[in-house]
Amino acid sequence: MFLLLAAVMPIPILTRPNFSSGCADPDLPGKSRARGPEQAPLCKNPATKASLELALKEFVAPLISAPPRIVLVTFDGHGIRDRDTMYLVPANANLSEHADLAEQCLSHHQLFGLLKKELEDKIKMKDVQFIVILNMCQYLPTFLKHHEVGFMEGLEPCGSRRPRHWALCTSTANGTKADDDVAEHMSCSPYLQELLSVECGFLEENVSVTLALGRARSRLLEQDRQEPYLFSAGLEEICLYGPSTHIPGECDVFICHRDGTNAREIAKELHDELVKMPVGIEDVDSSRNIKVFFEPSEGNTLQRDQIADALRSSTVIVFLVSQGTFEGISDLQSDAPGDGTLTRLLVQYEMALEMCALRSDVTVLPLLVGSKIPGQSVYNYVNIFDEVQMSDYWPVHAVPEDLRVQSIVKSALAGLRRDFDVAQNLPSKRLNTGVPSILQSSDGKLSKTGRTIKQTLSVFRSAENFTPHIFHGSTRDAIQSACKKIQERVSSQHKKRRRGREGESLDGARKALKKSHDEDSSGKQSVSPDAGVADARKSVHTNYDANEGSSSSAKRHKSDSSPASTGASMGGGAAGVDAADCTADSGGAEIERINKFSAGKEVALDRICDLPSLKRFNRGV
């Protein structure tokens, strides 16, 4: 049994301050002298109710002068639930009758009351989030049952004795016992084991508390072990660490190659040629040169983070694959360290597969490099229909059937989660390529989480999923041919992104018109239909141009300021034309005009939002 207390701020892991010495950040509310959730239990095996209360008071006392953003209290031990009250049972409690519960145990109402009285009532800040996690039974022994008829089922803390922003998570359902069957390889209960896993991401950057708790619940339910619940009052999409405010520049092409091989020379030549090639961007009449990433540079950002940021923002991911790319994969072990050239390469493969599932404007282009003719700068042709030859490039047969490498899963998730939107929307089931996501086991046993290495390589080997390009002929011809293919892919993906934005703009306009119709169905305004249609057409045109012309930094700033609403634009496009986007896209006045002139005119909706007409408007026809 232990009581774990922590005070943390919503900041990225990589820039986590030393809480013991205090910190200050102009963008955060105050500073904290408390330690983070990796600390040892503040109160282990508390003997009495008084010892539990004392531990809480000692914990919050130094926070009065340095309030944190989040206060986290976790109790892992014996517990009892009586009607609408959960009791934390101290080690030396001697319970023989119902009255002993209130006398010897600390109720969850009293716990929240202490947090309010000893901290919230003594500070000026009123946005501190208090989170309590009770990993204990909700079972009431027969000899302690009360004989009164009728009782409340809810666990909401008493209104007058709870903080303004509170959240309560229980590891079990009402009337059930918590699973305390701790295996030899586990250091804590199954619930905490799942919650603290890298897959749930409770302690990971950019993973919201709600998402992590929900994922732990679903994973335990899949195992038929126990049923956690979350009760909260306005628990926002806040993270223990994050959301990150650092947004890297976007890339068009990410060239993935294994370090220490001759593929680096090809990657460099591809890079030097591609950066000179133009590509049309979202605006109709503008273009720029392709942005390419093929290796990290020296700087303040860690190299692994540079790689992750570039891969995550690219629309075309190029895999340079030769007969020696996966050398040593047959010797790979599940506990392999993550700093090897092969494991670092496989991390990028796992990330790429997830990004393809998340964004429709992302594609992978396997570039199969033929064997080089000795003494010549010429590469042989690769026959993708030759199974023997393909097995040299994609050695799926050499990978153990159930091989999962934890360091690869951890690094891939860390790279993906550097973006808040991606972290919140990672799929937890099967991908569109037919294999499990990185968060889902293929056999249903969560002790073996994530798809296997064999499954990942099999997906990329299949030409049905990702059509390869053959790097053959003279070096010059092979480079030019590959660059032309990559340029075509980049242009195609940009067009796909633009079509997505057009669709979102139209959907947003439809929603705005429908909303105004619903609100003003009484027909209070009297406007001619022709005027309404004309003005609404102009509004759609204006907002579409504003949406396309706005800078990427402005769009990102909008998502950063409202992380709870960012998941809707994972398709790679900008947000639709709705009221929430008016601030960033400078279209508030036009949306207001739609609402004014479209009251009761839903019949004209299809005429207003006709796609060909919209395109003609934007071309100036």
User: Does any domain span residue 516?
Assistant: yes
Look at residue 499 in the predicted model and tell me its pLDDT: 67
The residue ranking higher by pLDDT, 187 or 56, is 56
The residue ranking higher by pLDDT, 383 or 439, is 383
Regarding whether 43 and 162 lie in a shared domain, the answer is yes
75 pLDDT band, cuts 50/70/90, is confident
User: Does any domain span residue 522?
Assistant: yes
| pLDDT tens figures, 156-183 | 887 778 888 898 988 887 766 666 554 4
Query: Is the pLDDT at 290 greater than 70, yes or no?
Result: yes
What is the DSSP secondary-structure string of 441-466?
A: -SSS-TTS-S--HHHHHHHHH-TTTS
Other Cβ atoms closer than 10 A to 358: 20
- Which residue carries 């290796």 as its tokens? 295
Regarding whether 501 and 356 lie in a shared domain, the answer is no
> What one-character DSSP code corresponds to residue 573?
S
Select from 471, 486, 521 the last residue of a domain: 471
Regarding whether 220 and 262 lie in a shared domain, the answer is no
Regarding whether 516 and 409 lie in a shared domain, the answer is no
With beta carbons less than 8 A apart as the criterion, state whether 38 and 4 touch: no
**Of 3, 2, 22, 27, whose CA–CA distance to 11 is shortest?**
27
Report CA-CA distances (Å) from 138 to 29, 179, 285.
36, 11, 65
User: Does any domain span residue 492?
Assistant: no
Partnered with residue 96 across adjacent β-strands are none
What distance lies between CA 522 and its chain's CA centroid? 43
- Domain total of the chain: 3
- Which residue carries 């408390």 as its tokens? 34
**Which range, of 7-21, 232-246, 397-411, 522-536, averages the lowest pLDDT?**
7-21
Regarding whether 257 and 221 lie in a shared domain, the answer is no
User: Does any domain span residue 241?
Assistant: no
Query: Is the pLDDT at 184 greater than 50, yes or no?
Result: no
Averaged pLDDT, 324-349: 94
**If 0-12 CB within 10 Å is exposed, 13-18 middle and 19+ buried, where does residue 346 land?**
buried
With beta carbons less than 8 A apart as the criterion, state whether 294 and 267 touch: yes
474 pLDDT band, cuts 50/70/90, is very high
Looking at 359-433, list the stretches that DSSP marks H as alpha helix, in order from N- to C-terminal side: 387-393, 406-416, 420-425
Query: Is the pLDDT at 578 greater than 80, yes or no?
Result: no
Query: Is the pLDDT at 282 greater than 80, yes or no?
Result: no
Other Cβ atoms closer than 10 A to 154: 9
Other Cβ atoms closer than 10 A to 31: 16
Q: To the nearest whole number, what is the mean pLDDT of the chain?
A: 73
Regarding whether 539 and 439 lie in a shared domain, the answer is no
Count helices and strands in the chain by DSSP H and E runs: 19, 18
| pLDDT tens figures, 189-237 | 778 888 888 888 888 888 988 888 888 888 888 777 778 888 876 676 7
| pLDDT tens figures, 16-52 | 222 222 333 333 222 233 333 344 556 677 788 999 9
Q: In terms of residue numbers, what domain contains 397?
A: 253-471
Phi, psi of 131 (to 5 degrees): -120, 125
Select from 454, 471, 488 the last residue of a domain: 471
| pLDDT tens figures, 414-455 | 999 999 889 989 887 788 888 888 887 655 455 456 789 999
**Which range, of 204-218, 270-284, 433-447, 542-556, averages the lowest pLDDT?**
542-556
Regarding whether 513 and 400 lie in a shared domain, the answer is no
Regarding whether 291 and 386 lie in a shared domain, the answer is yes
Query: Is the pLDDT at 591 greater than 90, yes or no?
Result: no
What is the DSSP secondary-structure string of 131-195?
A: EEEEES-----GGG----S------PPPGGGS-SEEEEEESS-TT--------TT-SS-HHHHHH
| pLDDT tens figures, 140-149 | 776 676 655 4
Regarding whether 292 and 156 lie in a shared domain, the answer is no
User: Does any domain span residue 240?
Assistant: no
Query: Is the pLDDT at 276 greater than 50, yes or no?
Result: yes
**Which range, of 76-85, 199-208, 249-258, 580-589, averages the lowest pLDDT?**
580-589
**If 0-12 CB within 10 Å is exposed, 13-18 middle and 19+ buried, where does residue 180 land?**
middle
Query: Is the pLDDT at 566 greater than 70, yes or no?
Result: no
Phi, psi of 368 (to 5 degrees): -85, 115
% the chain with pLDDT above 90:
32
User: Does any domain span residue 96?
Assistant: yes
What is the C-alpha separation between 561 and 310, in angstroms, rounded?
23
Query: Is the pLDDT at 91 greater than 90, yes or no?
Result: no
Structure tokens at 558: 């909008």
Query: Is the pLDDT at 300 greater than 80, yes or no?
Result: no
Query: Is the pLDDT at 66 greater than 70, yes or no?
Result: yes
Report CA-CA distances (Å) from 427 to 160, 542, 583.
40, 35, 30
What is the DSSP secondary-structure string of 296-316?
A: --SSSS-HHHHHHHHHHH-SE
Regarding whether 405 and 528 lie in a shared domain, the answer is no
User: Does any domain span residue 487?
Assistant: no
What distance lies between CA 182 and its chain's CA centroid? 29
Query: Is the pLDDT at 590 greater than 50, yes or no?
Result: no
Regarding whether 503 and 403 lie in a shared domain, the answer is no
Regarding whether 278 and 152 lie in a shared domain, the answer is no
| pLDDT tens figures, 496-516 | 777 665 555 555 566 666 656
The residue ranking higher by pLDDT, 276 or 555, is 276
β-strand pairing of 378-379 with 363-369: unpaired
What is the C-alpha separation between 376 and 468, in angstroms, rounded?
24
What is the C-alpha separation between 186 and 408, in angstroms, rounded?
21
Averaged pLDDT, 531-537: 40
β-strand pairing of 253-256 with 292-293: parallel
The residue ranking higher by pLDDT, 592 or 352, is 352
Averaged pLDDT, 102-116: 92
User: Does any domain span residue 549?
Assistant: yes
CATH code, domain carrying 128: 3.40.50.1460
Look at residue 240 in the predicted model and tell me its pLDDT: 84
Query: Is the pLDDT at 556 greater than 70, yes or no?
Result: no
Select from 202, 232, 262 the last residue of a domain: 232
With beta carbons less than 8 A apart as the criterion, state whether 405 and 453 touch: yes
Nearest-Å Rg of the Cα atoms of the chain is 29
Element (H, E) at 615: helix 611-618
